Structure 1
Amino acid sequence: MSKPQEKPFGPLQGLRVVEMGQLLAGPFVGTRCADFGAEVVKVEAPGTGDPIRNWGRLQHEGKTLWWPIMARNKKSVSINLRDGDGQALARQLIAEADVLIENFKPGTLEKWGMSPAELHALNPGLVIVRVSGFGQTGPYASRPGFASVGEAMSGLRYINGYPDMPPPRFGISLGDTLTALFAFEGMMMALYHRDRNGGRGQVVDAAITESCFAMLESTVTEYSKAGEVRQPSGTGIAKIAPSNIYPAKDGTYVVIAANIDAMFRRLTQAMDRPELADDPRFVTHIARGDHAELLDTIVAEWSSSLDMETLTARLEEFGVVYGPINSIAEVVKDPHFRERGMVRDYQDPDFGTITIPGVFPVLSETPGDVVWLGPQDVGAHNAEIYGRMGLTEAEMGDLRQRGVI
């Protein structure tokens, strides 16, 4: 089993976080904390643990390849939260924490005697991060919610895909990740406020629907003042040109984003078609948007005459914004991702040499790190954490025998 590195690192060293929840959105908040040096104690059900331990079809020697992404840098304790003694043990653990992260269905903590009011009476400085599908209040609060539903109901899914086709989902659980990032942001703001204003904690209420809704840019104001309902626009954005994917001669695709005037002029020079920059149909941002289909055709005819290497070299030479559409195979080989540590090879006793995503953003003085890939055993840190809380070996043995831990 991987062992945590005890040497402190990162800007959050000294921060104590209790993570209660499972799968993606809530645990990813904990991962962000752990990546930057917080001590994150993950509470799992005895025996079974977080279902993410067994998710995914692809495994390495019986170990899921999801787990090291969600569990890295964390410690695991086991608690049966449906048991009264387990709830008491959880409250004791939370009493010494700075942050509690949970993504249960709203009302679950309250049912277990761990409402925000009860927890703040126990630990006034506690920041409680609550992640759910629809938030802790409102008509839909009691509904269970997943990323796919939040993406759909927020309006985000509606504008994805192609006109006159059913809107597809994203190839990842985008809503979960977005919500975790907003929740982490809220947590940091709450901690800042606590430490600047008398030490009082508060609740961070992060909903998947609202996190997806927050990404909709100008669609709300466009609808409010112009009655415009933005529609899916395929590989580009309506009335923005040229900003699309364009084919290379070898069948690959590159994104070219040259929709501002100066950038478009540079693109026309790269194409050896400088006259296009002064063509009335393309001379302004609005004109190019009005003739986007024609302009995309012209750019695609040029791009498809060159192989990807020649095409990207030409765009690079003239300072045009571009990027090839990479599969993960190309990303992990890309020297830029490698040099910045966003893709790194890690030696682990359970997985051997494994390529993992790095930690971002990059901090100059207190960078985050990946020091281990998480505990393979549920409750691997029971002795350490519960011993620190004052429980004896005999007491832990009794709790284990009764299925509490």
Structure 2
Amino acid sequence: MTNPQKPLAGLKVVELGTLIAGPFCTRIMGEFGAEVIKVEAPDGGDPLRKWRKLYEGTSLWWYVQARNKKSVTANLKHPDGREFVRRLIAEADILVENFRPGVLEKLGLGWEELKAANPGLVMVRLSGFGQSGPYKEQPGFGAVGESMGGLRYITGFADRPPVRTGISIGDSIAALWGAIGALMALRHREVNGGVGQVVDVALYEAVFAMMESLVPEFDVFGFVRERTGNIMPGITPSNTHTTRDGKHVTIGANGDAIFRRFMLAIGRPDLADDLGLADNAGRDTRRDEIYALIDDWCRRHDEAEVLAVLEQAEVPASRVYSAVDMFADPQFIARQMFAAAQLPDGKAFKMPGIVPKLSETPGTTEWIGPRLGEHTDAVLTALGYPAEEIAALRQAGAI
């Protein structure tokens, strides 16, 4: 059986990015068929190659983040290196970059120059604060975007300082907006007969866009959302509780019918029939009482029993998963969320599966993150560079 064509097959994407936001954006495109050519500095490449846990000197994260990509090296400080990149972008559908605003312009690779050579180009620009405004030239990593965008302020417990979510969520959210924006721009170009355009994604705005009702609540009522730990004020009960065996279970029983089933399941028919608890507004006024009794019930039962009771009662609940739980879970396995792959020395390892699931044109992992510059000669040759010129570029330090 032949593999179906992937939805982004035929698209050429050039990545001028490092670490998380830009490379995650192009990773998504590569998983669904785009040809992604990642441009790296010859002297070490993307710092992500050396981040977190290393296997034989290379980050395991790198092998995931750069899967399905081709790596070429180009020294952007060298005129011939810049010319190589300019020619590469001239044939591309999408350019994704996450330099600080103004950097590419100083290199002669700004939007106006690139658009003149390739009017259909879609340029995704991911930066801390966007391409305009008084902060545009300031450095801004994901942590800054999460803080300025409002996420850090509301994350954690009221009696403690704000905390991070545990992953670089700001970068990843910005990457998703970049991919969505690129596809919208392509739709405009290919279906509406439009030209290329810039997709300007600021990390703080990417986070800010996820902040639910924060803006109208403050504007209309002057209400400032604060840290509330694991509960959701106004939506009760929804919380994380500790079981007798020291495990943590998240329970979301805030639907009216669900709450009634929950109370019956834990032996509290009096609360199930209490008209004052029949809706969220009533339950929220008595949330301390409700959470106390749920805490007490969970403390008297082991995790397995808690989850079994809640499953039988059709109450949404889950253990708080670690990697150990994920690897053993039948839902993860059934949904193919662990893709089998091999490291360069042949060692088998698991990579995260592809999201989302497309029924007709699913994404795949064709290869893991490449060696630095692994595809430089092939890409240069495809652009029309003869072998002797490639050798000269390497000798001059341009690639």
Shift of 1:8: 7.8
- Give the structure 1 partner of residue 369 of structure 2: 374
CA contact (8 A) 1:348 1:372 kept: no
- Give the structure 1 partner of residue 32 of structure 2: 36
CA distance in 2, matches of 1:281, 1:231: 26
Alignment of 1:303-314 (within 5 A): 303-314=298-309
What's the TM-score, normalizing by structure 1? Answer: 0.95
SS in 2 for 1:158: helix
Task: Please tell me the residue identity of whatever aligns with 1:168.
Answer: V
CA distance in 2, matches of 1:127, 1:214: 22
Shift of 1:346: 2.0
State the identity as a percent.
Answer: 48
- Give the structure 2 partner of residue 20 of structure 1: 16
Q: Do residues 392 (structure 1) and 379 (structure 2) align?
A: no
Task: Please tell me the residue identity of whatever aligns with 1:373.
Answer: I
| Consecutive unaligned residues in structure 2, runs of 5 or more | none
CA contact (8 A) 2:4 2:361 kept: no
CA contact (8 A) 1:53 1:67 kept: yes
Q: Do residues 360 (structure 1) and 355 (structure 2) align?
A: yes
CA distance in 1, matches of 2:7, 2:328: 29
Shift of 1:355: 1.4
Task: Please tell me the residue identity of whatever aligns with 1:39.
Answer: E
- Aligned counterpart in structure 1 of residue 120 of structure 2, from 120, 125, 131: 125
Shift of 1:280: 4.3
Shift of 1:9: 4.5
- Give the structure 1 partner of residue 67 of structure 2: 72
CA contact (8 A) 2:4 2:360 kept: no
- Give the structure 1 partner of residue 396 of structure 2: 402
CA contact (8 A) 1:150 1:175 kept: yes
Alignment of 1:87-106 (within 5 A): 87-106=82-101
CA contact (8 A) 1:21 1:101 kept: yes
Alignment of 1:233-382 (within 5 A): 233-350=228-345, 352-376=347-371, 378-382=372-376
CA distance in 2, matches of 1:384, 1:8: 26
CA contact (8 A) 1:246 1:254 kept: yes
Shift of 1:82: 1.7
Task: Please tell me the residue identity of whatever aligns with 2:317.
Answer: Y
| Count of matched residue positions in the alignment of Structure 1 and Structure 2 | 397
CA distance in 1, matches of 2:344, 2:149: 42
RMSD: 1.3
Q: Which deviates further from its counterpart, 351-360 or 205-214?
A: 351-360
| Consecutive unaligned residues in structure 1, runs of 5 or more | 1-6
Distance 1:8 1:260, change over 3 A: closer
Task: Please tell me the residue identity of whatever aligns with 1:233.
Answer: T
SS in 1 for 2:30: helix
Deviations 1:341-399 (A, max 9, x none): 112332343361111101100000000011111212x2110121110111011000000
CA distance in 1, matches of 2:4, 2:37: 15
Deviations 1:38-64 (A, max 9, x none): 1000000113111111112x2212221
Shift of 1:197: 2.1
- Give the structure 2 partner of residue 4 of structure 1: none
Q: Do residues 157 (structure 1) and 152 (structure 2) align?
A: yes
Distance 1:114 1:166, change over 3 A: same
CA contact (8 A) 2:126 2:201 kept: yes
Distance 1:8 1:50, change over 3 A: farther
CA contact (8 A) 1:239 1:292 kept: no
CA distance in 2, matches of 1:365, 1:139: 46
- Give the structure 1 partner of residue 108 of structure 2: 113
Deviations 1:130-170 (A, max 9, x none): 00000000111010100111111111110000002110112
CA contact (8 A) 2:10 2:34 kept: yes
CA contact (8 A) 1:60 1:351 kept: no
CA distance in 2, matches of 1:375, 1:346: 13
CA contact (8 A) 1:9 1:36 kept: no
SS in 2 for 1:323: strand
Shift of 1:304: 2.0
